[in-house]
Amino acid sequence: MDYRKCAQEIYDLVGKRENLISAAHCATRLRLVTADNSKVNIKKLEDVDGVKGVFSSNGQLQIILGTGTVNKVYDEFLSISGMTAATKADVKAAAAKKQPLPFRMVKALGDVFVPILPAIVAAGLIMGLLEGMTKIWPDMANSGTYQIFHLFSNAAFVFLPILVAVSAARVFGGNIFLGAVIGMIMVHTDLVNAWSVAGMLEAGQQIPQADVWFGLYKINLTGYQGHVIPVIIAVWFMSFIEKRLHKIVPEMIDLFVTPLVTVLVTGYLTLTIFGPVFAQLEEWVLIGVQWVITIPWGIGAAIAGAIYPLTVVCGIHHMYNTVEIGMISNTGLNTWMPIASSANFAQGGACFAVALKTKDKKFKSMALPSSFSAFLGITEPAIFGVNLRLMKPLICGMIGGAVGAAVGSMFGIGATAYGVTGLFGFLITTKFVWQYAIMLAVSFAVSFTLSWITHKDKPREEDAEAEAPAETAAEEPALPSITCEKGKVYAPIKGNVIPSANIPDETFAAGVLGEGVGIEPELGVVYAPFDGEISSTTDTKHAIGISSPDGMELLIHVGVNTVAMEGDGFELFCAEGDTVKAGQKLMTFSIDKIKAAGYSTTTAVLITNSDDYAGLEIKEGACNPLDCVITIKE
C-alpha cells in the first residue's frame, strides 16, 4: 500500500495540524488526541485504504492499521504533520485526564506489562518448545543442552519483579535504575525464595522472621517471586518519593540524598508493609478468579470467555497478565490462557465468516487478513475493523468464545506461560494438545456458523444512492421584484422561521455570533437577502457572509456542524467580493444529505454586528424567499 497516501488522507480527515494535539502508535493502532472531535470525519476515515477501523474512546482517536503497517504510516504521518514522536506522552496524558480513576489504574497496569511482553513471550515459547521436544525425545531432559535452554525459559519468570519494577518506574516517571533496585530487593537471595516456602512448610521447617517497626510485629523473610501488584505499588511509591525529593532537596546534594532516602524509605516500607499486605490481596484476588472460572460445567469460564472481547474493546485486557502470573507462580499452570484463546479464536471465526460471505471486495480484503491475525492471537484488526462495526459478528464471537471456554474448562486445559494465544498457544499447552485443538475447533465452529447465518451485506453507499429516488427538489419559485429597504433582512430560504435562541447549537442560540433568526428549510436554495456584497465564503461551501450598503453584516450558515460534510451536497454560485442583488441565487444544498449525515438543517441567519443596533424585530412562522423576516430597531 501507499503509506504516505494513507497518512495524508488520515491527516486531512482528522482536521489537519490545527486540530491535532498529539500523536502516537502502539502495535496495531495510530492513537491521536484532537482538539475538536467534531472536526474528524470518522465515516470517511473508515474508507481510507489501509484503515481497518476507527474507534474513539475517552478523548483518544484510535485508527486501526494493523501490525507492520501502523509504524510506517505513523512515520509518514509525522512527516506530513510536522509533529514528533515525543508527543506520545501527550497522548497518554490527554487520554488519561478524561478517564475515571479505575480506568486510569487499569491502563497503568497495561502500560507496565506491554513493554515486557516480548521477554515473557520469548520465555514462554522456549518453555513450550522444550516440553514438546522432551515428549519426542524423553532423554533430552537429562542433557546439558536441556539444562541451558531451561535456564533461558524461566529467567524472565524468576526475575519478573525486576522487569516489572523497571517498567513501572518508566510509567510512573521514576528512575528506572532505582526501580530495578527495589525489584532486586524483593527477590534478594537473602530472602527465602517464594516458590520454596510450600516445600519448607511441608517439611516442618520454620520460615525466617524479622522484628520490624521497633518490635511492633514480625514479617516472614520471603521473596516476592511471581508477584506483581506489590512490586507495582512499591515502585509507584518510590517514584512519588523521588519526584518530591527532587523538588525540595538542594541541587548540590540532590545526587546523593535523593537516591539514598528513596531506596531506604521505599525498601523498608516494601518489605514491611507493601509486600505483605498487597501480596495477600493479590492472593485473594487470584483465589476469587480461580473460583469463578472453575464454577462447575464451565459456567464461570463461559462468562469470562464472553466478556473477554469487551475488555479488549476497552483496552483493559492487559490486566489479566496479573492473574496469569499468579496462576503460574502458585500452580505452574495458567488456566486463564484457554479462556482468552477461545475468545480470540472465536472473534477470528466470526470475522472469517464475514470475509467469505461478503460481496464487498474492499471489506473482504480487510476482513480476511484480520481473521487470520485473530487466529494468531492479535484480535484488534478483527474486532475493531469488522466485528464491532457490524456488531452481529462481535456477538457471535462472544457466544463462540463462551462455548469454547466452557469446553476448555471442562477439559482442565492450562498453559505453562502467558502472552500467547490462538494457534501459537499449542507451544505452551503441550500437555493438552488434542484438548486444546478441540477447544479451538468448537470456538471457531460456533462463531463461524452463527456469523454466517446472521451476516447480511449492507447496501453500499453508492448502490443505495443509485437505488434511492433522487431528492425531490421543488420547483424554484418565481421571486417577486422588491425594493430593498434600509434595515430590513429578507428571507434567503423558503421554510419556517424560528428565533435564533431556538437554533439547536449553543453558539448560535447564545448569540455569540450575533442575533437573528433560524430557518427550517423546505427548499435547498439560498437567495441574497438584500442588495449587497459577498464578504466571505467558506471552503466547505456551507456558509456565506454578506454586507449591506448601510453597514449591516449578515451570516447565512446552512445547517448545524455541516462543516464536517466538507462541501458534500453544497454548491456556491457566488464568490467573495461579488456584488449581488436581492433574490439572486447564492447557493444550493441537499436537505437529504444533511439529514443523512446526522446534522440539523436549521439555517442560521444572523446579523453579526447586531450590537451596533438598538434591537431586532423578527417575524416567525412560514416564509417564502424575500419575505421580510428581520427589521432593525433604530
Check: CB of residue 221 under 8 Å from CB of residue 210: yes
Q: Rounded to an integer, what distance in angstroms lies between the CA atom of residue 474 and that of residue 453? A: 44
Catalytic residue among 26, 246, 314, 542: 26
Check: CB of residue 518 under 8 Å from CB of residue 503: yes
How many helices, marked H, and strands, marked E, lie in the chain?
24, 20
- CA-based end-to-end distance of the chain: 64
- For residue 213, count other CB atoms closer than 10 A to its CB: 11
Look up 26 and say whether it is catalytic.
yes
Task: For residue 525, give the C-alpha cell.
Answer: 436554495
* Type and span of the H or E element at 501: none
* Type and span of the H or E element at 604: strand 603-607
Check: CB of residue 66 under 8 Å from CB of residue 28: yes
Q: Rounded to an integer, what distance in angstroms lies between the CA atom of residue 375 and that of residue 421? A: 8
If you ran DSSP here, which 8-state letter would residue 383 be given?
I
Look up 623 and say whether it is catalytic.
no
Catalytic residue among 318, 396, 557, 574: 557
Check: CB of residue 409 under 8 Å from CB of residue 443: no
3-state secondary structure of 126: helix
Check: CB of residue 456 under 8 Å from CB of residue 361: no
Q: Rounded to an integer, what distance in angstroms lies between the CA atom of residue 316 and that of residue 107? A: 6
Query: 337-357 and 361-375 are packed helices; what angle lies between their axes, rounded to 10 degrees?
Result: 160
Strand 585-589 to strand 525-527: parallel, antiparallel, or no bridges (unpaired)? antiparallel
If you ran DSSP here, which 8-state letter would residue 195 be given?
G
Annotated catalytic residues are 26, 557
